[in-house]
């Protein structure tokens, strides 16, 4: 599956505008590309009960899974400022569930610049279904 990085990064940056982050002020947007070529987006959704906060990456992945997609070609995660996004540990574990070595992960800043990683790089020696 051909990955249009620019399109996916644009979708993550656009989604970020809807981030609900009144407590941290740190908006995050994410966009996943399914193996069938569809894009699903997500944002971080904070809550006054801080522990209920949902990250953008999980929101995007869960939206896609909810529509029946469990294979992914790529994910883009966008944040504000100069430093590219850095997914939290919980999101890395959820990526591990659905991503493989071919799944491209683009971590970008407010200008869409950043780095590309694989889930193996983000979460080495991960616990997964292969362990059970
Ligand atoms: N956040 C994400 O959405 N994704 C991450 O991987 C890191 C953190 C959100 C959660 C919270 O709303 C804010 O960023 C600050 O932690």
Q: What is the average pLDDT across 100-107?
A: 98
Residue with CA nearest ligand 1 atom 2: 55
Ligand 1, residues 19, 23, 56: which to mutate, most atoms within 8 A of Cβ? 56
User: Which of the residues 6, 38, 57, 116 is marked catalytic?
Assistant: 57
pLDDT band at 99 (very low <50, low <70, confident <90, very high): very high
Contacts of 2 (CB under 8 A, 6+ apart): none
> Cβ distance 53 to 19 under 8 Å?
no
Average pLDDT, the chain: 98
Which domains occur in the chain, in start order? 5-131 (3.40.140.10)
What is the percent of the chain where pLDDT is above 70? 100
**57 noted as active-site residue:** yes
| Ligand 1 in reach of 28 Cβ (< 6 A) | yes
Cα(115)–Cα(71) distance, integer angstroms: 22
Collapsing DSSP to helix, strand or coil, 75 comes out as strand
Backbone dihedral angles phi then psi of residue 53, each to the nearest 5 degrees: -60, 140
Q: What is the average pLDDT across 67-80?
A: 98
Q: What is the pLDDT of residue 54?
A: 98
pLDDT band at 1 (very low <50, low <70, confident <90, very high): confident
Q: What is the average pLDDT across 35-45?
A: 98
pLDDT band at 89 (very low <50, low <70, confident <90, very high): very high
| Ligand 1 in reach of 14 Cβ (< 6 A) | no
Cα(132)–Cα(31) distance, integer angstroms: 30
What is the percent of the chain where pLDDT is above 90? 99
Cα(103)–Cα(101) distance, integer angstroms: 6
């Amino acid at each position: 599956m051909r990955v249009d990085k620019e399109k996916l990064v644009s979708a993550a940056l656009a989604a970020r505008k809807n981030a609900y982050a009144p407590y941290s002020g740190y908006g995050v947007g994410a966009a996943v590309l399914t193996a069938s070529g569809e894009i699903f987006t997500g944002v971080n959704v904070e809550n006054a009960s801080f522990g209920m906060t949902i990250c953008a990456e999980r929101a995007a992945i869960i939206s896609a899974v909810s529509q029946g997609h469990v294979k992914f070609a790529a994910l883009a995660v966008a944040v504000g400022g100069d430093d590219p996004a850095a997914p939290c540990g919980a999101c890395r574990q959820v990526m591990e569930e659905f991503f493989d070595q071919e799944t491209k992960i683009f971590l970008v800043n407010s200008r869409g610049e950043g780095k590309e990683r694989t889930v193996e790089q983000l979460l080495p020696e991960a616990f997964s279904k292969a362990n059970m």
